[in-house]
Structure 1
Amino acid sequence: MAKIIIVRDYPHSPRKVWQAVTDPALIPYWTSTGKGARAVGFEPVIGNRFQFVAKPMPGWRGIVDCEVLEVREQKLLRYTWVGSEGEEPTYVRYELDPAPGGTRFTYRHTGFSGVGGFAMAKMLGSIRKKMLTTGMPALLAEMDDEGRLRSDTTLRRGRHPQ
């Protein structure tokens, strides 16, 4: 089975990183370095069903169906990921650990199977790497210590300065 594991250290508190990954208003800022998905109906509550919605493209309807499986405030979020109707779910896990000077963020996406799963993991892995290396640091730098986007931010949903 193929999987994606990305580990990044951010010079920000777990509280701030947690806010960036769980506030539906903030999610499109860091995902915009990929396909710009917004979380529709998302709440970090076990059993919550939500969707990531992005621009459709040939071969993909632009919607990922998800369900929250596990939540530990400022530590862990785990949910299912179904990118196409009828496919078996894969599993996404965000782990936040205090680290010297900030937070170690571990992204895991597991459960890809077969040749198609291997190809999907490879494609999603490069997109996620960009989101977590470019998008997330840009967003965190524009957030105040309370986890709110600064009123004078230069970030725009769907676009980031290069």
Structure 2
Amino acid sequence: MSAIHIVRDYPHPPRKVWRAVTDPELIPLWTATGAGARPEGFATTVGATFTFVAKPKPGWSGVVVCEVLEVREPSLLRYSWQDESGGEVTQVAYRLEPHGSGTRFTYDHTGFTGAGGFFMAKILGVVRTKMLTKGLPAVLNDLDGQGNLRPESPLNPKRP
């Protein structure tokens, strides 16, 4: 079985990191360095079903179907992950723990099987590493003390 395991330390408190990784308006800002997925119907409630919608690519609709399996705010979020066209159901877990004056964030995506799963884990691992190394730190750096995106942030969506 293949898996993705990424650990990053951020110089921000766990509550701020939790907000960045669970606020539906902030998630697309840090996933933009990957496939740019936005959550639809996401809530940090066990049993909540939601989709991640990204830009489609050849052979992929861009939609992943998920269900929240476990929540312990602000330290754990675990959800299922399955391409909308079917296939194996995998699991994603975000673990946050205080580390020094910041937060240690552990990302695990498990349950990939067979040769196809091996290659999927490799591809997604590269994308997730970029999101957690570039995308998430940029969002965290642009949040104020209450966890809101600063008005002058270049990450703010363009308003008409």
**Shorter-chain-normalised TM-score: which range?**
over 0.9
Superposed, 1:101-116 pairs within 5 Å as 101-116=101-116
- Tell me the number of residue pairs that the alignment of Structure 1 and Structure 2 aligns: 157
Contact 1:60–1:84 at 8 Å: present in 2 too?
no
**In 2, Cα distance between equivalents of 1:24 and 1:67:** 15
**In 2, Cα distance between equivalents of 1:111 and 1:147:** 32
Contact 2:149–2:156 at 8 Å: present in 1 too?
no
- Does 2:44 correspond to 1:39? no
* Structure 1 SS opposite 2:154: coil
Long gaps (5+) in structure 2: none
Q: Which residue of 2 is the match for residue 91 of structure 1?
A: 91
Deviation at 1:86, TM superposition (A): 2.1
* Structure 1 SS opposite 2:106: strand
**In 2, Cα distance between equivalents of 1:148 and 1:5:** 28
Long gaps (5+) in structure 1: 158-162
- Does 2:46 correspond to 1:76? no
* Structure 1 SS opposite 2:83: coil
Q: Which residue of 1 is the match for residue 142 of structure 2?
A: 142
Deviation at 1:84, TM superposition (A): 4.0
TM-score (norm. length: structure 2): 0.96
* Structure 2 SS opposite 1:82: strand
Contact 1:46–1:68 at 8 Å: present in 2 too?
yes
* Structure 1 SS opposite 2:144: coil
Give CA-to-partner distance per residue, 1:34-92, whole Å, 9 cap, x none.
01000111001000000000111111001000000000010000000002422121000
* Structure 2 SS opposite 1:127: helix
* Structure 2 SS opposite 1:5: strand
AA in 2 matched with 1:142: D
**RMSD, matched Cα:** 0.8
Give CA-to-partner distance per residue, 1:10-49, whole Å, 9 cap, x none.
0000000000010000000100000100011100100000
Q: Percent identity?
A: 61
